[in-house]
Structure 1
């Protein structure tokens, strides 16, 4: 949806002193806080220790900035999620971006996307035909993005394909990473930022089409576990490990996700089928 990374990379300018009760900050403080926010966007919910290590700051300094960002409503604390068994002691507090924090990056682009999708929906007549038209658009958009990702996946070993897709997604502003999981065996593709989260909250067809593309690119059934659009901190997709001798993990097939939608949204029967399409394994959240 957005390829203007330069315009999206920096949060909105700090509010003036006295606005909404905020205390004035120096340019240096503002710059550091932007680095903190950007680090959370790129890596997901983070503790003060993790941020300090990434940014080369003391934990005390990071905590001061986190307190200020929390007071401004840009970040919020929560319990640190631990992969595997949890050790003793109280879990570390992890800070995640709030909707306002994400808005600082997305600015008005999501509003434009929602308005465009609403126009498509209404122009098609609303109801099931409108939903079908939005899904057709989402599939066409996702297929176009898949062509960009496919170039980075060609020739990649099956066991490294999820990581390669995460890298490709990151070039488009999704701040993605791949994590191995033991039970069930496979990998989780995590997107720590979603440039179209607000649009996807209103039109889940965007998430559906993206999930279809992930499955096609990886040559495997995938399961969407959570999305930022529906309140999670991270968009998480589970990719099962291919069974020995199985078909998963072969050469990434060419996606045709957009073609059925584009070809069938013209008859009443096809509209109903397309509008009610569901992704196998999709989390309905």
Structure 2
């Protein structure tokens, strides 16, 4: 893993961000601590390996994934673990080669991606502390992620993203909008596993209030859509995490110049 930051802001304002891959077990634990605050305490999730006593959200995949961490260096007077304010979990082709499976495969049939012969990157566990949402924090994570993708010559990014709650009827409009307007082409169309398969075609397209529906789509999903991303076939109801999940797929070769600018450092110039 590189020791240099993947991205860094050296401005004097507050906050002051840097981004790098976790290098030690303690830094991975800092990511798990952040994930506990977001996925367990805030969103009500749980899991077999969640450590409530230590307040760590973890699972069996953590050891083989790269952990991209966003640090707010302006919080240096606090517990060092609390300086990690954002995180992403990444599985490049080399990581997949070690474990032979993807996290998303518990929810989605990834045959079309696995058989494509292309270099894949699985993304997951994206999170920010509430006070860092809606500002520049996510831009710093995405800038570092774009560099990670370029360095490893990744061709297709994918991973599950979530709507909070498991009331599918309440999500009928945004799920239907994603189905009608943003479903992946056949060559990239992963499909939710039958056990918890939830159709997303819940209402006709002409009955959807597109503005209202898009407002109900989580910010992370909207970000992928702006980059030219798609969703797979069907949603997955994850009762353990108290979410309805969709699988996002992004083909970097299909991004146009404007979309690539959003996703790279050039977006700031």
How does the TM-score come out when normalised to structure 1? 0.25
Structure with higher strand content? 2
Structure with higher helix content? 1
Question: Which protein has the larger Cα radius of gyration, Structure 1 or Structure 2?
Answer: 1
How does the TM-score come out when normalised to structure 2? 0.26
